[in-house]
Structure 1
Amino acid sequence: MTIEFLQHTLFFPMMIHGLGFLSLSASLVLPWALTGLVQGQKITESLVKDIRQSSPVQQMPLPSRKLISQVSTATTYYVSATGNDRNSGLTTSSAFKTIQRAADLTRPGDTVLIMNGEYRNAPGRGSVLSISRSGTANAWIKFKAYPGHSPKIRHNTWNGIGFAKRVSYIELNGLEVIGNNPNVTLGYALSQKSNSSNVLTNGNCINVDGRGGGGIHHVNILNNKVHDCGGAGISVAGADYVRVDNNTVYNNSWYSVFGTSGISFLQNWNSDGNQGYKMFITNNRAYNNRMYVPWIQRGTITDGNGIIVDISKRGTNGPYRGRTLIANNISYRNGGSGIHAHESEHVDIINNTAYLNQQSPELRRKGDIYGGYSSDIKIFNNIIYPSPGKNANTNVMNSNVTYDYNLYPNGAVVVVRGTHDVVGDPQFVNPSNGDFHLRSSSPAINRGYSWRGLTTDFEGTPRPSGSGYDIGADEYR
């Protein structure tokens, strides 16, 4: 353990993760009293089958789909912006006014349905929604948008949604979490670059932090829109069995003094000895997440990545033994890399699309998708389209990091090439408007590796739809 990491741990016991290419860790410590609590529920895993009998890489099968049973006494609570916390919360006409009121009553198997409206943090609270009650393996607690509704959680404090230590079996589904960026100027944020206690610039959208308290496990963060937080978009630290799926994460990490990113997993925690897939970052869209304020410990811009898995080699209770799947994500125009694993291991980065990342001028040679200081990383079937003059990938202090079946544009700076890589224009339909579907003449079609278990694309379309797997997050059809 380096002196720097010891200092980091001593001064910032509650990190919000994110990490620069050459930095050990960027973190945030929230005062214990301000730490948010959150609960969510696990979604099930897609059924998987072997596509090939023989494989050039050892692949880890995904767990099979299992139905989650609910206890017979489960309660559904309703929340409405026009409700009243003195109500029973048991019907739409007797809804609570705050999500927190319902959260404080939940027991295993309960569901909180949140109706249209805007929900804000009360003065002095560290989160709009603090989740401290756990579900069980057969009775998750769920916080969901009421069918057909689009509730908004808007905050100017440490977290829009925060989790207490040791919380488990929680689902967040269909919510919009909005931070304080629209009320902050870059000039003001830079004037606060040494202020680690300013909630107006450092707040996170969703913060799952189990470090120092025994860890958090079995959390699903699904179908949410997460944006405009000065700190992290979705931050997961000291946790196990977490799924971040089908979220849209943008305009985060702008003003925090901590090195944060759009979606980040930091120092995973071993809740058991399972070495299979336990962490999933899938089907997300991450863009315009960027650092404009230097990381306070380095004094430089280090992060603002679309997606990062960070220092799992030194997890909360030793090296993380589980495997992480990063698949079918679209990550573009972020300040840091599109996707990367830093000082981590046992990560598969498969069928993603990364486009014009490394927008921060300070970050030139990280790579749009890469592993650094890492081991046992597979980087297959990705479209990697870097900004002009920036690296597509890199290879620094790695062991057993394999790149293959990836597509790079002509002229890209590619440090590590695979035998089956493709070079050419991916022929996106309209990337300037965020449309990364493939045209019928794309060289990415039918050129990918048949990755066992990944049977759908970003939109749920079956893979393969032609004679072979396509490269990138989208399967042409």
Structure 2
Amino acid sequence: MMIHGLGFLSLSASLVLPWALTGLVQPERVTESLVKDVRQSSTSTDREMPLPSRKLISAVSTATTYYVSGTGKDSNSGLSTSSPFKTIQRAANLTDPGDTVLIMNGEYKNIGQSGSVVTIKRSGNANAWIRYKAYPGHFPKIRHNTWSGIGLSNGVSYVEINGLEVIGDNANISLDYALSQKTNTSNPRTNGNCISIDGRNSSVHHINILNNKVHDCGGAGISVISADYVKVDSNTVFNNSWYGVYGTSGISFLKNRNYDNNQGYKMFVTNNRVYNNRMYVPWIERGIITDGNGIIVDLSKQGPNGAYKGRTLIANNISYKNGGSGIHAHESEHVDIVNNTAYLNQQSPNLKKGQIYAGYSSDVKIFNNIIYGPAGKNASTNVKNSNVTYNYNLYPNGAVIGAMGSNDIIADPQFVNPSTADFRLKATSPAINRGYYWKDLKTDYADNPRPAGGAYDIGAYENQ
């Protein structure tokens, strides 16, 4: 199926909004055949981005820290907690490499139909990232009914978004209204994304989206279009993609761009909890429900400057009860889907291809995953792939398995309590010590070490 969570959305899997609105970052399309505790992740300055280590970026001695508060004033200096700015945008317009924007409690909203609550266009550099962070102990909310809560475009680079809550307008939209807008590609209320990274016009690279709570956007939760070196780590992403026309998903990477020729890991989707992202409005290109996936890597074979050469790691994610797949790669290559837990996805009745799978793809490894699907629907499939390997995965009894490896297991995974979304493993789980040794993955979803026993466990959690 096709999947995209557009940078604004998705058009042909890319968004089709008027190009006059491009600066507003818009959706991209989708196409296929047919709060957890805050954890810090480090910013990489290496050519090959290392796996998330969850440590803060080292401070730069000459950097400026700006403060923003819901009770502040943009006429303030913004240089202390007693003189904060009122809008995040005021600080964003001033940042230089190495600066930090600390955001205090408050609800930050868009003004009229501006493109984003916060539009980030100023870049850091490899040794001095610009960071936007929740002030310690605070829980700021970015609430919007426009194209995006946070938009990153215009060639921005070396920027980190950490510990914020971004909320769309789904609570104020009825399904009847959304269906009345099913041919309207220019309605930001129904099509807006929560966080939009859009590199279609110019190269966007080295962006970290960490520890955020992202929900209730009609379009995508976190949309990454034509970018490179992006890390999406430790976010909670839910209730997105309900009302847009572009075929979006919870977390979507579409048409990755080659910033350089590095063939190592450059894209990371790790340690996220992703659920209840679902399409209720047909994708305008095909007139049917196609996406609403938890996580998708889409059309990386069709990047803006050729097929994407870097590797993508999708690991330690928990993806459940989404409308489309839990995780999948569509028409993509060089993707490793490792140690994830997918549970009862494909809630949309017509979507049946798999909980975790690859389609029209090559050089994809699907290892060490718990793949738990609803009765009568495929847990995995192998659709027109080449060099796609499934192995060391666990399927429940009665699963419909379209692609199976020699070391796969069919058994009850013995979750602690799936009814409350507690997907830890009981001590008697057959997933324990049955996984493949994936040397690049040293921790689990809870930041516990892997392996804890004689071998890797299967799934997002390592039994301790």
Contact 1:379-1:404 at 8 Å conserved across structures: yes
**What SS does the aligned partner of 1:101 have?**
helix
Secondary structure of 1:447's aligned partner:
coil
TM-score (norm: length of structure 1): 0.90
Equivalent residue for 2:303, pick from 298, 305, 315 = 315
Deviations 1:389-443 (CA, angstroms, capped at 9, x unpaired): 1100111110000000000001100011111001110011111111100011111
Q: Which residue is equivalent to 1:274? A: 262
Structure 2 residue 81 is the aligned partner of structure 1 residue 92: yes
Q: Separation in 1 of the partners of 2:98 and 2:44?
A: 19
> Which residue number in structure 2 is paired with residue 357 of structure 1?
345
Tell me the equivalent position of 2:386.
399
Residue of structure 2 aligned with 1:207, choices 186, 193, 196: 196
What's the offset of the Cα at 1:71?
A: 3.8
Q: What's the offset of the Cα at 1:33?
A: 4.0
Conserved? CA contact 1:42–1:140, under 8 Å? no
Match of 1:131 in 2: 120
Match of 2:100 among 108, 111, 115: 111
Q: Do the aligned partners of residues 372 and 115 (structure 1) sit closer, same or farther apart at CA in structure 2, a change above 3 Å counting?
A: same
SS of residue paired to 2:380: coil
Q: CA deviation at 1:45?
A: 6.0
Once the two structures are TM-superposed, the CA of residue 467 in structure 1 deviates from its matched residue by 1.3
RMSD: 2.3
Give the equivalent residue in structure 2 for 1:418: 405
Shift of 1:44: 3.5
2:460 matches 1:455: no
Alignment of 1:47-196 (within 5 A): 62=50, 69-196=58-185
- In the other structure, the counterpart of 1:222 is 210
Q: 2:419 aligned with 1:432, yes or no?
A: yes
Q: Contact between 1:391 and 1:412, CA under 8 Å: does it hold in 2?
A: yes
From the superposition, tell whether residues 68 and 287 of structure 1 become closer, same or farther in structure 2 (CA, over 3 Å): closer
Structure 1 residue 362 displacement after superposition: 1.3
TM-score, structure 2 as length reference:
0.92
Look up the SS of the partner of 2:401 in the other structure: coil
Paired residue for 1:57? none
Post-superposition offset of 1:137:
0.5
Query: In structure 2, what residue type is equivalent to 1:435?
Result: D
Query: Is the contact between residue 37 and residue 129 of structure 1 (CA under 8 Å) also seen in structure 2?
Result: no
Which letter does structure 1 place at the counterpart of 2:296?
I
- The answer as to 2:246 corresponding to 1:258 is yes
SS in 1 for 2:160: strand
Counterpart position of 1:54: none
Question: Alignment partner of 2:379: what SS?
Answer: coil
Q: Which amino acid aligns with 2:197?
A: V
Counterpart code for 1:120: K
1:261: how far off? 0.1
CA distance, structure 2, for counterparts of residue 356 and residue 15 of structure 1? 27
For the structure 1 residues 93 and 64, does the alpha-carbon distance in structure 2 shift closer, same or farther, using more than 3 Å as the test? Answer: closer
Range 276-285 or range 118-127, more displaced: 118-127
Give me the whole-angstrom Cα distance separating, in 2, the residues matched to 1:61 and 1:156.
34
Counterpart of 1:55? Answer: none
Shift of 1:64: 9.4
1:475 aligns with 2:458: no
Distance in 2 (alpha carbons) for counterparts of 1:290 and 1:204 = 13
Contact kept, 8 Å, 2:8 with 2:15, in 1: the verdict is yes
Q: Structure 2 unaligned runs (5+)?
A: 27-39
CA contact (8 A) 1:17 1:261 kept: no
Residue 43 of structure 1 corresponds to: 42
The number of aligned residues is 446
Q: Which of 380, 400, 407 is equivalent to 2:367?
A: 380
- Listed as ranges, the gaps of 5+ residues in structure 1 are 6-11, 48-59
Matches of 1:420 and 1:441 in 2, distance apart?
19
C-alpha distance 347-147 of structure 1, shift in aligned 2 (>3 A): same
